[in-house]
């Protein structure tokens, strides 16, 4: 959730819910393992998980367990500034010039600054047709098919350019 001034103007800061603390009796690594397994597993409970670990001293078993759990699963650990930069980049990115012609979906992607590793998701099915190829500027783009909340998507890197998805 973004913060705003009394005037209604938004401030370039987000509030992040704290899912993990070192003062509420949570157990580590069980808490982070559960959150991450449910995010990257079939349940698809995606999110940015935050922790409030009082690291007044160099040692923090909770923080160490969180980082180790994320690294073991290939999940990035980022600072609040990195997350805000990426969110601003994602939110500033757009799809445009959407058009359907026969068995081809064409569109443009404009990836905003800060949207590192942005991924696009388009329906993997169009009626009885299945996504068979993705191109950017006429050059093939590798894609995977992923099911999210019961819907199948073609997922691919989304850099700025003109795209076409062919269905067959």
Q: Are strands 144-148 and 18-21 parallel, antiparallel or unpaired?
A: unpaired
Query: Is residue 116, in this structure, part of any structural domain at all?
Result: yes
Task: With a cut of 90, say whether residue 112 has pLDDT above it.
Answer: yes
How confident is the model over 84-88, as a mean pLDDT?
Answer: 90
Shared domain for 58 and 99, answered yes or no, is no
Lowest mean pLDDT among 40-54, 108-122, 125-139: 40-54
Flag whether the pTM goes above 0.85: no
What dihedral do alpha carbons 150, 152, 153, 155 form, nearest 10°?
A: 90
Q: How far is C-alpha 94 from the chain's CA centre? A: 15
Closest CA to 136 of 159, 105, 113, 155: 159
Phi-psi label, residue 118: left if phi above 0, alpha if psi -120 to 50, beta otherwise: beta
54, 77, 100 - which closes a domain: 77
- The larger pLDDT score, comparing residue 11 to residue 78, is at 78
The number of distinct structural domains making up the chain is 2
Q: How confident is the model at residue 3 (pLDDT cuts 50, 70, 90)?
A: confident
Shared domain for 96 and 120, answered yes or no, is yes
Query: Is residue 121, in this structure, part of any structural domain at all?
Result: yes
Shared domain for 8 and 54, answered yes or no, is yes
Q: How far is CA 53 from CA 19, 67, 81, 141, 166, in A?
A: 11, 12, 17, 41, 48
Query: Is residue 149, in this structure, part of any structural domain at all?
Result: yes
76 close to 98: Cβ distance less than 8 angstroms? no
Q: How confident is the model at residue 148 (pLDDT cuts 50, 70, 90)?
A: confident
11 close to 2: Cβ distance less than 8 angstroms? yes
Query: Is residue 146, in this structure, part of any structural domain at all?
Result: yes
């Amino acid at each position: 959730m973004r913060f705003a001034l009394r005037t209604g103007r938004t401030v370039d800061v987000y509030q992040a819910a704290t899912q993990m603390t070192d003062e509420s009796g949570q157990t580590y690594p069980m808490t982070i393992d559960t959150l991450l397994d449910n995010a990257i597993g079939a349940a698809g409970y995606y999110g940015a998980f935050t922790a409030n670990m009082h690291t007044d001293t160099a040692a923090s078993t909770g923080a160490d367990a969180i980082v180790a759990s994320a690294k073991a699963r290939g999940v990035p650990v980022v600072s609040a500034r990195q997350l805000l930069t990426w969110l601003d980049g994602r939110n500033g990115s757009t799809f445009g010039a959407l058009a359907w012609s026969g068995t081809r979906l064409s569109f443009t992607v404009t990836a905003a600054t800060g949207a590192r590793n942005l991924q696009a998701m388009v329906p993997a099915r169009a009626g009885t047709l299945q996504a068979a190829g993705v191109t950017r500027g006429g050059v093939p783009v590798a894609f995977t098919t992923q099911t999210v909340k019961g819907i199948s998507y073609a997922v691919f890197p989304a850099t700025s350019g003109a795209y076409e998805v062919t269905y067959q």
